[in-house]
Amino acid sequence: MGITLGPNQYGKAEVRLVTVDREGPVHHLKDLTVSTSLRGQLERTHLTGDNADVVATDTQKNTVYAFAAGGVGEVEDFALRLAEHFTGSFEHITGARILISEHAWNRIDVGGTPHDHAFSRPGGEERTTAVTLQDGKAWVVSGLTGLTVLKSTGSEFHGFPRDEYTTLAETDDRILATAVTARWRYSATSGIDWTLSFDEIRRTLLETFATKHSLSLQQTLYAMGEAVLEARPEVAEIRLAMPNKHHFLVDLSPFGLSNENEVFHAADRPYGLIEGTVLRDDEPADAAGLAWYSLPEF
């Protein structure tokens, strides 16, 4: 019986990086969490403790900060620069996975004017990118998390099977709420206006959620993915994870009151978790190859 080392990677997780880009008195902030993971011929350190091939995670962290000098630019380009640096500079490092979450800051509005250098943090949404570079081939999977949305009508759920454990009432008018996590794989790694693409995909996701009359969250998920693929040719595939943030009608009958679809309990847990991939016919599901391998959440 032999024992061998299987797939492995290592790096610095969650490097917190804030940059201030000064355009005279007007400051531009970038607030990122960057995780680096390197892959390659790393048997020596695992099997014998010989660290000759190990780019220290401390070095990886320092590289992230050093590369931020002079400007981060778009997160996709920053991640590609880092991945190319690590794989290009160290012979035994043949692959890199760089994850970046970008935390938004909005300018504080002072008397109707956006302030030059004071910002506020909008709620929990993040823009994300995951760049994978392996043996010279790169993939970009970008996305967003924490995009919390709710529609107070335009959602039904009925026609599901009933057995002895089914208590859920059928409804033709319910609240539909979710916090969207979306990740999409780009078909190229250059020649794409990343921010424009992100903004348009986000807008398409929101508009479809708002306007598609929903018979299930699954149907809404598919419609959102389909709309993105129809609108954005640069996207090869999109994966969505959407928790069903249940809003249950409160039984007011003990108080002699009726509830005309008006008073709800916003439940925390458990929640339905609806996940799905929407693909192009001409892009087989496994075309992603290493793009998705060991990505958190998918």
Ligand X SMILES: O=c1[nH]c(=O)c2[nH]c(=O)[nH]c2[nH]1
Binding site for ligand X (CB under 6 A): 157, 168, 216-218, 244, 272
Minimum CB separation from ligand X for residue 272, in Å?
Answer: 5
* Positions marked active-site: 12, 57, 246
Which residues partner with 148 through β-bridges?
179
Minimum CB separation from ligand X for residue 155, in Å?
Answer: 8
Minimum CB separation from ligand X for residue 224, in Å?
Answer: 13
Choose between 204 and 216: whose C-beta lies nearer to ligand X.
216
6 in helix, strand or coil? coil
Choose between 24 and 159: whose C-beta lies nearer to ligand X.
159
**Burial code of 258-294, b = ≥16 C-beta within 10 A, e = fewer?**
eeeeeebeeeeeeeeebeebbbeeeeeeeebebbbbe
Choose between 160 and 255: whose C-beta lies nearer to ligand X.
160
57 in helix, strand or coil? helix
Count Cα atoms within 13 angstroms, Cβ side, for 175: 18
Minimum CB separation from ligand X for residue 207, in Å?
Answer: 19
Residue 25 tokens, joined: 């008195």
Residues 6+ apart with CB under 8 A from 133: 80, 83, 84, 87, 95, 96, 97, 139
Minimum CB separation from ligand X for residue 259, in Å?
Answer: 19
Q: What's the rounded Cα separation, in Å, for the pair 212 and 220?
A: 7
Four-CA torsion 15, 124, 98, 77, nearest 10 degrees: -110
Q: What's the rounded Cα separation, in Å, for the pair 74 and 174?
A: 39
Choose between 29 and 179: whose C-beta lies nearer to ligand X.
179
Rounded (5°) CA angle 101-103-104: 140
Choose between 157 and 184: whose C-beta lies nearer to ligand X.
157
State the sign of the Cα–Cα–Cα–Cα dihedral 120, 122, 124, 130: negative
DSSP state of 53: T
Choose between 139 and 157: whose C-beta lies nearer to ligand X.
157
Minimum CB separation from ligand X for residue 237, in Å?
Answer: 23
